[in-house]
Amino acid sequence: MMNRLRVSTGEDHPQVARLAVFGHSVIRQLGLRAIVNLATATGVVLLLLVLRVDFPLMWGILAFFLSFIPWIGLPLAVAPAVVLALAEHGLTSALLVIAGVIVINIVAENALSPMLMGRGLSISPAVLFLGFVFWAWLLGGPGAFLAAPLTIFLILMLETFPETRWLANVMGMGAPDPEAPDPEEPAVGPTGRPSVSP
């Protein structure tokens, strides 16, 4: 589809370039989120193995996939494991599962996630939270799952127009402008040679 768009509109069309930026941003965001989810799921599996709760791998896989839904996915994933720990080993085991998952989530979200997201995307956590609330209210479950890609798309659309570009900058992604020259590449003068500033 992108090749067809480039053929029909030209290589330098700004909207096509922005669609390419959007695609790369979504893929990067999902990839980084998957790394954080994998670390969280691994911690959940190890915790449940130590506490001898049945089916730890299943609860870890559930935690991995549901953690793509911000804020509510992980509690939904581990709630059955807490109930199972309560039924098998009593209240103390269930409380230990809850405390362990909270610690795992804090480490993943406050240490690993900022480090990875800082290298990939720089969307404000407050913007992601507001985007999650808005898209979940508007679209329900699919909106909660797709909140981050939809928020990225909204920011890029706001950045397209000069009147709303300031709002995109406030929201904090800082997507590159396809029309702006690459700062790492030297400017080329009219003779085809790099121009040197005095």
Number of independent structural domains in the chain? 1
Which among 154, 136, 156 is positioned nearest to 69, based on CA atoms?
A: 136
What pLDDT score does 37 carry? 93
Alpha helices in the chain (DSSP H): 2-9, 14-50, 56-66, 73-89, 91-107, 113-120, 125-139, 141-145, 147-160, 165-171
**Please, which residues have CB within 8 angstroms of residue 161's CB and are 6 or more apart in sequence?**
none
- Alpha-carbon gap, residue 44 to 60, rounded angstroms: 6
What pLDDT score does 196 carry? 45
Q: Is residue 52 part of a domain?
A: yes
Backbone region of residue 124 per phi and psi (left: phi > 0; alpha: psi in -120 to 50; beta: other values): beta
Q: pTM higher than 0.85 for the full model? A: no
**Please, which residues have CB within 8 angstroms of residue 136's CB and are 6 or more apart in sequence?**
143, 144, 147
Whether the Cβ atoms of residue 155 and residue 171 lie closer than 8 Å to each other: yes
Whether the Cβ atoms of residue 66 and residue 80 lie closer than 8 Å to each other: no
What pLDDT score does 60 carry? 95
pLDDT digits (tens, 9 = 90+) for 150-160: 887 888 778 77
DSSP label of 177: P
What pLDDT score does 122 carry? 63
Helix (H, G, I), strand (E, B) or coil at 122: coil
Q: Is residue 188 part of a domain?
A: no
pLDDT digits (tens, 9 = 90+) for 177-188: 444 444 344 444
φ, ψ at 194 (rounded to 5°)? -60, 135
Q: Is residue 165 part of a domain?
A: yes
Q: Which residues of the chain have pLDDT under 50?
A: 174-198
| Residue 119 domain boundaries | 12-171
Q: Is residue 122 part of a domain?
A: yes
What pLDDT score does 178 carry? 42
Q: Is residue 17 part of a domain?
A: yes
Q: Is residue 176 part of a domain?
A: no
What pLDDT score does 120 carry? 55
